[in-house]
Chains A and B, each alone.
Chain A
Amino acid sequence: MDELEELYQEIVLEHNRKPRNFRKMDDPTCTSHGFNPFCGDTITLYMTLDEDVVTDVSFEAAGCAISKASASLMTQAVKGRTVDEAQATFGKFHNLVTNGANGGEDDESLGDLVVLAGVRSFPTRIKCATLSWHALRGALEGEETVSTE
């Protein structure tokens, strides 16, 4: 597979065309705006929490295929999880996009998110993949705006 196809796997392209949970939320528990000054991509992330469980998560974004698909995949990955699980997933995901897949337990627990492993070969695009996760963390930690810089 060439690097381009590894970056833009079919699942990525498909999530870009039809992002999941791509909507404004009316009464979120918390929200955060993410901004990538490098390319101008923006995201607004909305979350509903029940105690420490993420019961709903959605986003609105203007950005590239990687940032949109990553956000879409993220919403699927964290819905129904606890806040701690979501934060831990971010750690593993960050490792995946900076160091690549390692074929171990971490990869398995990331599920569909591993399709973004190809980002590693494109250092300028790593922040595209992590923007939505920064916004997620911002929302959980009460930061209204976060930047990837």
Chain B
Amino acid sequence: MPASSGMAGQPSTEYRIKAAFLYNFTSFVTWPDDPAGASGFTLCVLGDDPFGNLLDKLAGKSVNGTQLVIRRLGSLALLDQCKLVFISETSDDQIGGALALLHELPVLTVSDTRGFTERGGIIEFRIIANKVRFDINLNAAESAGLGISSKLLSLATRFRQND
């Protein structure tokens, strides 16, 4: 599986695309207003970072009028501070806990772990015909209070609703 080949050193083409997708998602998803008024848009990676330094290149870019901040988390402790969480495959065992923790919190959860959306994750990367695609769990997004653009929905290979 090429998905794991990017684990060491240089990130693979797949993860270059996925990194870009992560950033692009922010344009098609709307977050509710943050009452805490937290400064910056925090993009977190839970577990091993398969993107190498790609995400660092994105840091400082503008998202919804605020600056993008990258955080790599080893535990679930600060997970609720994130706006977007990428849960890497290596944290498979942590997915259940993370999703439980983030239940109904306005955090966009993304992972390339198979069955992520079935388990309550919002976006799951998939490889179809050698191309990076994604599924969306619309119910999960709605219960998290996130708005997904129809444009994004139209690109999803599948999206789960009212199951």
Specify whether A and B are partners. no
